[in-house]
C-alpha cells in the first residue's frame, strides 16, 4: 500500500491553477528600483497588469504561454496591421487575469515609430486604466 492517494485527490498544481489570481503581493517601486512591503486590491492589480503588459510573451520559461504581450513581430509591420493586432493582443492578455471583467475601450495613438495603447478596464475593484507603448 503506497503513501500517495490515488482516488479523489487533486494535484497541488490543479489546486493552484483553478483558484483566483492572488491579490496580496510584493510592492514594486519603479522609481527606487526596489521591492519593499506589500500591496493589495486595486494597486496590486494595476501592478500585475503593468507587469503582464511589459513582459514579452513566450520569452521567459517561468511564465505559461498565456502570460505577457507578444510585440516583437510588430516591429517594422505596417500600421494597418499593427494597430488592430496590438489591440487584440492587449485585450487577450488583460482578460487572462480573472480580476479583469471586461476591456471596455482601447485607444491607440500613433507616434513616429511607436503605438501607445490606453485601455479602460472593468475590474472586480472598479474601473481603471492601463497603458503600454510599443515600438514598431
Predicted confidence at residue 32, as pLDDT, reads 83
**Residue 76 in domain:** yes
What's 89's domain CATH number? 3.10.450.40
Which residues, at least 6 apart from 108, have a Cβ–Cβ distance to it below 8 Å?
83, 86, 87, 115, 116, 117, 118
Residues of the domain holding 105: 23-135
pLDDT above 70 as % of the chain: 84
Residue 68 within a domain: yes
Query: Number of structural domains, the chain?
Result: 1
Q: Is 5 a domain residue?
A: no
The SS3 of residue 45 is: helix
Residues in the chain: 136
Q: Show Cβ contacts of residue 121 under 8 Å, excluding neighbours closer than 6 positions.
A: 49, 94, 100, 101, 102, 103, 104, 127, 128, 129, 130
Backbone φ, ψ for residue 135 (5° rounding): -80, 135
Query: pLDDT for 54-108, tens place per residue?
Result: 999 999 999 999 999 999 999 999 999 999 999 999 999 999 999 999 999 999 9
- H-type alpha helices, 19-106: 41-54, 79-94
Residue 6 located in a structural domain: no
The answer as to whether 121 is a domain residue is: yes
How sure is the predictor about 21, in pLDDT bands with cuts at 50, 70 and 90? low
The burial of 91, by beta-carbon neighbours within 10 Å (0-12 exposed, 13-18 middle, 19 or more buried), is given as: middle
Tell whether 99 is covered by a domain.
yes
**Domain-embedded: residue 110:** yes
Is 115 contained in some domain? yes
Amino acid at each position: 500500500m503506497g503513501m500517495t492517494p490515488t482516488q479523489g485527490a487533486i494535484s497541488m498544481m490543479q489546486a493552484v491553477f483553478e483558484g483566483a489570481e492572488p491579490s496580496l503581493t510584493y510592492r514594486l517601486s519603479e522609481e527606487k528600483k526596489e521591492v519593499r512591503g506589500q500591496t493589495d486590491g486595486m494597486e496590486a492589480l494595476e501592478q500585475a497588469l503593468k507587469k503582464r503588459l511589459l513582459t514579452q510573451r513566450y520569452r521567459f520559461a517561468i511564465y505559461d504561454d498565456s502570460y505577457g504581450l507578444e510585440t516583437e513581430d510588430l516591429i517594422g509591420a505596417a500600421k494597418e496591421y499593427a494597430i488592430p493586432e496590438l489591440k487584440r493582443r492587449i485585450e487577450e492578455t488583460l482578460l487572462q487575469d480573472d480580476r479583469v471583467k471586461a476591456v471596455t475601450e482601447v485607444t491607440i495613438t500613433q507616434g513616429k515609430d511607436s503605438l501607445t495603447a490606453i485601455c479602460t478596464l472593468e475590474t472586480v475593484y472598479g474601473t481603471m486604466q492601463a497603458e503600454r507603448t510599443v515600438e514598431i
